[in-house]
Structure 1
Amino acid sequence: MPRQQEAVHTQGTPGTAHTRDGRELFYMELPGPATETGPAPRPTVVFEAGMAASRSFWALIQPQVAEWARAVAYDRSGLGRSPADIEPRTLERMADDLNDLLDHLEPGPFILVAHSGGGPIVRAATAAKPDRIAGLVLADATDEGCEPLFDPKFRRMERIAHRASVLLARLGLLKLLYRGQLAALPPDAKADMRAEGFTNTVMRTRGAELHGLVAATNRLRHDPLDLPRDIPVTTISGALADTGMPEKFRAAVNASHRDRAERSAHGRHVLARESGHALILTEPDLVAAEIRRLLDHRPGG
Structure 2
Amino acid sequence: MTHTQGEPEWVVTRDGRRLHAMVHPGPEGFTGPTVVFEAGAAATRSSWAAVQPEVGRHIRAIAYDRSGLGRSAPDPGGRTLHRMADDLNDVLDHFGPGPYILAGHSAGGPIVRQAAARRPERIAGLVLVDPTDEAAEVLFGRAFRTGERLMLGVSGVLARLGLLKVVFRGLLRDIPDDVRRDLEREAFTVGTTRTHREQARTFLDELALWRHDPPMLGDIPLTVVSGGLGGGMRARANASHVHRVTLSPAGRHVIAERSGHYVPKTEPEVIVREILRMT
TM-score normalised to structure 1 length? 0.91
SS at structure 2 position matched to 1:269? strand
What residue in structure 2 maps to residue 197 of structure 1?
187
What residue in structure 2 maps to residue 258 of structure 1?
242
What is the letter of the counterpart of residue 282 of structure 1? Answer: T
- The alignment status of 1:209 with 2:195, answered yes or no, reads no
Partners in 1 of 2:242 and 2:227 — Cα distance?
A: 12
What residue in structure 1 maps to residue 40 of structure 2?
50
Alignment of 1:258-277 (within 5 A): 258-277=242-261
What residue in structure 2 maps to residue 141 of structure 1?
131
What residue in structure 1 maps to residue 59 of structure 2?
69
What residue in structure 1 maps to residue 71 of structure 2?
81
> Which of residues 75, 85, 98 is equivalent to 1:95?
85
- The alignment status of 1:248 with 2:232, answered yes or no, reads yes
SS at structure 1 position matched to 2:23? strand
TM-superposition CA deviations, 1:37-89 (whole Å, max 9, x none): xxxx4000000000011000101000000111100000000000001111121
What residue in structure 2 maps to residue 15 of structure 1?
9
SS at structure 1 position matched to 2:131? coil
Sequence identity (%): 53
Moved more, 177-186 or 51-60: 177-186
- The alignment status of 1:237 with 2:226, answered yes or no, reads yes
What is the letter of the counterpart of residue 252 of structure 2? Answer: R
Name stretches of at least 5 consecutive residues in structure 2 with no aligned partner.
none
Partners in 1 of 2:114 and 2:21 — Cα distance?
A: 20
Name stretches of at least 5 consecutive residues in structure 1 with no aligned partner.
1-6, 242-246, 296-301
TM-superposition CA deviations, 1:248-279 (whole Å, max 9, x none): 21111101111111222111000010010011
What is the letter of the counterpart of residue 29 of structure 2? Answer: T
Partners in 2 of 1:86 and 1:178 — Cα distance?
A: 28
Q: CA deviation at 1:212?
A: 2.8
- The alignment status of 1:132 with 2:118, answered yes or no, reads no
Q: CA deviation at 1:107?
A: 2.8
What is the letter of the counterpart of residue 222 of structure 2? Answer: V
> Could you say which structure has the larger radius of gyration?
1
Partners in 1 of 2:164 and 2:210 — Cα distance?
A: 32
- The alignment status of 1:151 with 2:141, answered yes or no, reads yes
CA contact (8 A) 1:184 1:281 kept: no
Partners in 1 of 2:140 and 2:8 — Cα distance?
A: 39
Spell out structure 1 runs of 4+ moving beyond 3 A.
none
Partners in 2 of 1:212 and 1:188 — Cα distance?
A: 34
Q: CA deviation at 1:164?
A: 0.6
Partners in 1 of 2:212 and 2:145 — Cα distance?
A: 19
TM-superposition CA deviations, 1:158-180 (whole Å, max 9, x none): 11011110000000000111111
- The alignment status of 1:283 with 2:277, answered yes or no, reads no
SS at structure 2 position matched to 1:20? coil
After superposition, the CA RMSD in angstroms is 1.0
Partners in 2 of 1:213 and 1:291 — Cα distance?
A: 27
TM-score normalised to structure 2 length? 0.98
What is the letter of the counterpart of residue 220 of structure 2? Answer: I
Alignment coverage as a number of residue pairs: 279
